[in-house]
């Protein structure tokens, strides 16, 4: 597969690019900062564009088979959360209209938790969750992965665990941990595994050895209800009627496009 990686120069994106190559696929790294190209493997295809500028993305999605989102607004507050965590996904999905590709979207464990002081201040969870909803409404086959805390693993915490319902809301590594390398493996493997299609789950690692085969883990998950915009077992705590008009408009637009 030719796979576009949005967020390719971030800590997760770089690992994803390496994993894409290791699994025999062709990466196309979407890069905004030219100085960061040196962080990527030399055999990566580089495409310069800005996820916040839709006009720079039209050619980035040409002839791709899949896209992996590892975007993160990195402490940019509400403006960054809206422009990057949500806007970047929206803009690429918009550029994909007329084609059908596999999508792997990384958000975060605890994304449905809305009342913490941190989310009240930044709205990062809310905007990441809106991005999830947009992917579900788009009509593209997808996998949404909500990872635990990156690289907080002990050396013996390698056994992969897939959860659903997003009930771990401590806002700390007590919610679960996962290595960046393991997360990259899951994101890339999900694209080629039919058992992962249209599923949303939290990803953590617990004490034990990492599983060699992923299909049993994917198969054990419940698929999302395609008539709903949230994950199959998510909390019903974000009423669509109370969402910003622009977000409702995006959902209607992409849902209508997906049905054509």
**CATH number of the domain encompassing residue 157:** 3.40.50.720
pLDDT at 179 over 70: yes
Domain membership of residue 132 as a residue range: 2-259
When pLDDT is averaged across residues 159-187 and rounded to a whole number, the result is 97
Q: pLDDT per residue over 33-84, tens digit each?
A: 888 899 999 888 999 999 999 999 999 999 999 999 999 887 788 999 999 9
- Residue for token pair 């056994």: 159
**What CA–CA distance (Å, rounded) separates 30 from 92?**
11
Look up residue 235 and give its two tokens: 């909390």
Which pTM value belongs to this model? Answer: 0.96
Residues found in the chain: 260
Look up residue 16 and give its two tokens: 């994803």
Tally of domains in the chain: 1
pLDDT at 260 over 70: no
Q: pLDDT per residue over 5-25, tens digit each?
A: 999 999 999 999 999 999 999
User: Taking the C-alpha atoms of 151, 20, 46 and 198 in order, what is their torsion angle to the nearest 10 degrees?
Assistant: -90
pLDDT at 259 over 80: no
Whole-angstrom CA distances from 216 to 92, 142, 165, 196 are 31, 18, 19, 10
Three-state secondary-structure class, residue 16: helix
Whole-angstrom CA distances from 36 to 31, 84, 187 are 8, 18, 22
Helix (H) or strand (E) holding 253: helix 245-259
**Are 60 and 4 contacting, i.e. CB atoms less than 8 angstroms apart?**
yes
Helix (H) or strand (E) holding 144: strand 142-147
Whole-angstrom CA distances from 117 to 143, 183, 211, 252 are 29, 27, 37, 31
Whole-angstrom CA distances from 179 to 6, 158, 182, 243, 250 are 19, 8, 5, 34, 33
Higher-confidence residue of 255 and 121: namely: 121
> What's the whole-number average pLDDT of the chain?
94
Helix (H) or strand (E) holding 33: none
**What CA–CA distance (Å, rounded) separates 171 from 190?**
26
Q: pLDDT per residue over 115-156, tens digit each?
A: 999 999 999 999 999 999 999 999 999 999 999 999 999 999
């Amino acid at each position: 597969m030719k796979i576009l990686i949005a967020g390719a120069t971030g800590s997760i994106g770089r690992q994803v690019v390496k994993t894409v190559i290791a699994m025999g696929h062709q990466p196309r790294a979407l890069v905004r900062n030219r100085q960061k190209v040196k962080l990527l493997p030399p055999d990566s295809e580089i495409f310069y564009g800005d996820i916040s500028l839709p006009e720079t993305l039209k050619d980035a999605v040409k002839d791709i088979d899949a896209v992996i989102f590892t975007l993160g607004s990195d402490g940019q507050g509400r403006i960054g959360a809206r422009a990057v965590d949500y806007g970047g996904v929206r803009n690429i999905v918009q550029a994909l209209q007329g084609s059908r590709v596999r999508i792997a979207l990384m958000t975060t464990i605890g994304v449905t938790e809305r009342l913490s002081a941190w989310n009240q201040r930044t709205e990062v969870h809310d905007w990441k969750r809106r991005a999830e909803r947009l992917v579900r409404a788009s009509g593209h086959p997808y996998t949404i992965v909500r990872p635990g805390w990156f690289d907080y693993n002990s050396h013996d915490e390698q056994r992969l665990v897939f959860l659903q319902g997003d009930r771990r809301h401590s806002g700390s590594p007590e919610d679960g941990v996962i290595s960046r390398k393991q997360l990259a493996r899951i994101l890339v493997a999900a694209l080629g595994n039919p058992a992962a299609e249209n599923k949303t789950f939290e990803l953590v690692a617990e004490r034990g050895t990492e599983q060699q085969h992923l299909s049993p883990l994917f198969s054990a998950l419940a698929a999302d209800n395609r008539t709903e915009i949230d994950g199959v077992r998510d909390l019903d705590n974000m009423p669509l009627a109370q969402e910003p008009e622009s977000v409702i408009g995006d959902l209607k637009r992409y849902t209508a496009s997906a049905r054509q």
